[in-house]
């Protein structure tokens, strides 16, 4: 088997995250003694993925008759992807990822923080925008409570940084005890300024922790911010799923691709014995994903450690990077980025009708 045949075989290997053959992502193959060296370039962060992909390629090539070793040179090339309507991608920010929910209390902000940290740990340049004006939580979760951003020219703001991620929140600019008694237009203007006046630098992904709900503020943000893709966070019970459907439909109305659903608090983990049980019901996120033709990106437990870590300013991905929950966040991050790289998103939805009856 020569190098060209090996390259063709490698190109036919299905990547589990892209959900399709590697194809043109295989950019070269050459023999080196008894080994073959394969070059692959993927459109999502690849930190921690080299060995699993190498093993997959080695297995497929061995099945095709290759008896030598397999080495892999894996690279990442993250591109800017299409956004909704007539909007254009933001300068220096390749992709905006919206993390949304139909209601509060489902762990959306915790998920957004860990998603941003996982993408950064895998090699991407990442920012995190806390768009929840009424209840900003990222300053506390990212260990930045009480810090203030700086400005050099009186017009633009330098974001704060935590664990390699650029972070901006209204919580940095106001007293944490001060309630934000603002009407919708004021909230929208504040968020537009936070996004546009922050010196983010070069980013592959800006993760936006959206306000909960589907009201005027959320819809206006979804219309004005150029979003490459959105993920919906829900818990398994029916009442949360009903609201999550509304969040998904909101993005449909403004033509934003929905990359998938994240099911939070899927099981409860006993802190004493480790026993898991479905206290909020089982399979809700999976059923919703099937209903709307999008993947379930992952399921996370209701675990006291997640709460303790975020309250302590060290989200799970950095507090326990080798733990099972952190690995789940990494899987969710890779699936999300790969879905975006593959150009996938929800385009077909069940018909919705209304009646006065």
pLDDT digits (tens, 9 = 90+) for 56-91: 999 999 999 999 999 999 999 999 998 887 888 888
Average pLDDT of the chain, as a whole number: 87
The two three-digit tokens of residue 206, written as one number? 């800006």
DSSP category for residue 357: -
Query: What gap in Å lies between CA 150 and CA 154, rounded to an integer?
Result: 9
For 3-76, which CATH class?
alpha beta
Check: CB of residue 16 under 8 Å from CB of residue 50: no
Q: Looking at residues 169-196, what average pLDDT do you find?
A: 75
Phi, psi dihedral angles at 14 (to 5 degrees)? -80, 125
% of the chain residues with pLDDT over 90: 56
Query: What gap in Å lies between CA 142 and CA 316, rounded to an integer?
Result: 11
Candidate CATH numbers 3.30.300.30, 3.40.50.80, 1.10.3720.10, 3.40.50.300; the one for domain 93-341 = 3.40.50.300
pLDDT digits (tens, 9 = 90+) for 101-155: 877 788 899 999 999 999 999 999 999 999 887 778 999 999 999 899 998 888 8
Winning range, highest mean pLDDT, from 104-118, 227-241, 262-276, 287-301: 104-118
Strands of the chain, DSSP E: 14-15, 20-21, 26-32, 35-42, 69-76, 93-100, 126-130, 160-162, 165-169, 203-209, 229-234, 258-263, 268-269, 276-277, 296-299
Query: What gap in Å lies between CA 347 and CA 36, rounded to an integer?
Result: 40
Q: Looking at residues 154-169, what average pLDDT do you find?
A: 94
Query: What gap in Å lies between CA 190 and CA 193, rounded to an integer?
Result: 5
Phi, psi dihedral angles at 134 (to 5 degrees)? -75, -30
The residue ranges of every structural domain in the chain are: 3-76, 93-341
Q: Using pLDDT thresholds of 50, 70 and 90, give the confidence band for residue 353.
A: very low
Say which residue, 281 or 96, is predicted with more confidence.
96
Query: What gap in Å lies between CA 274 and CA 281, rounded to an integer?
Result: 18
pLDDT for the residue 349: 33
Q: Using pLDDT thresholds of 50, 70 and 90, give the confidence band for residue 326.
A: very high
Q: What is the Cα gyration radius of the chain?
A: 21
Q: Looking at residues 22-27, what average pLDDT do you find?
A: 96
- ∠ CA 254-257-259, nearest 5°, is 145
Q: Looking at residues 276-301, what average pLDDT do you find?
A: 83
pLDDT for the residue 180: 59
Q: Looking at residues 260-281, what average pLDDT do you find?
A: 81
Query: What gap in Å lies between CA 27 and CA 11, rounded to an integer?
Result: 9
Query: What gap in Å lies between CA 210 and CA 139, rounded to an integer?
Result: 15
CB-based burial of residue 175 (10 Å sphere; 0-12 exposed, 13-18 middle, 19+ buried)? exposed
CB-based burial of residue 301 (10 Å sphere; 0-12 exposed, 13-18 middle, 19+ buried)? middle
Contacts of 37 (CB under 8 A, 6+ apart): 29, 30, 31, 71, 72, 73
The residues with which 198 forms a beta bridge, in sequence order, are 157
Q: Looking at residues 36-64, what average pLDDT do you find?
A: 96
């Amino acid at each position: 088997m020569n190098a060209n045949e090996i390259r063709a075989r490698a190109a036919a290997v299905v990547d589990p995250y892209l959900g399709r053959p590697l194809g043109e992502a295989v950019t070269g193959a050459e023999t080196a003694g008894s080994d073959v060296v394969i070059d692959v370039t993927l459109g999502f962060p690849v930190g921690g993925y080299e060995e699993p992909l190498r093993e997959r390629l080695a297995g497929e090539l061995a099945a095709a008759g290759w008896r030598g070793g397999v080495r892999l040179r894996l690279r990442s090339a993250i591109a800017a992807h299409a956004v909704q309507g007539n909007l254009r991608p933001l300068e220096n920010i390749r992709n905006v990822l919206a993390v949304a929910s139909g209601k509060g209390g489902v762990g959306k902000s915790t998920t957004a923080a860990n998603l941003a940290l996982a993408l950064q740990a895998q090699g991407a340049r990442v920012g995190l925008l806390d768009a929840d004006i009424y209840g900003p939580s990222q300053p506390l979760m990212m260990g930045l409570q009480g810090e203030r951003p700086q400005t050099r020219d009186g017009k633009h703001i330098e974001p704060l940084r935590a664990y390699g991620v650029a972070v901006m929140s209204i919580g940095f600019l106001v007293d944490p005890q001060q309630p934000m008694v603002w009407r919708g237009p004021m909230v929208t203007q504040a968020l537009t300024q936070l996004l546009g006046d922050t010196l983010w630098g070069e980013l592959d992904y800006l993760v936006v922790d959206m306000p909960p709900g589907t009201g005027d503020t959320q819809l206006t943000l979804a219309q004005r911010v150029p979003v490459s893709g959105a993920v919906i966070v829900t818990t398994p019970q029916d009442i949360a799923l009903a609201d999550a459907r509304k969040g998904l439909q909101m993005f449909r109305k403004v033509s934003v691709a929905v990359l998938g659903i994240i099911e939070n608090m899927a099981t409860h983990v006993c802190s004493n014995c480790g026993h898991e049980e479905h206290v909020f019901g089982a399979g809700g996120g999976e059923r919703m994903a099937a209903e709307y033709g999008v993947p379930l990106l992952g399921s996370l437990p209701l675990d006291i450690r997640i709460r303790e870590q975020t309250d302590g300013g060290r989200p799970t991905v950095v507090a326990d990077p080798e733990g099972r929950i952190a690995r789940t966040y990494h899987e969710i991050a890779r699936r999300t980025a790969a879905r975006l790289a593959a150009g996938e998103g929800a385009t077909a939805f069940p018909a919705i009708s209304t009646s006065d009856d």
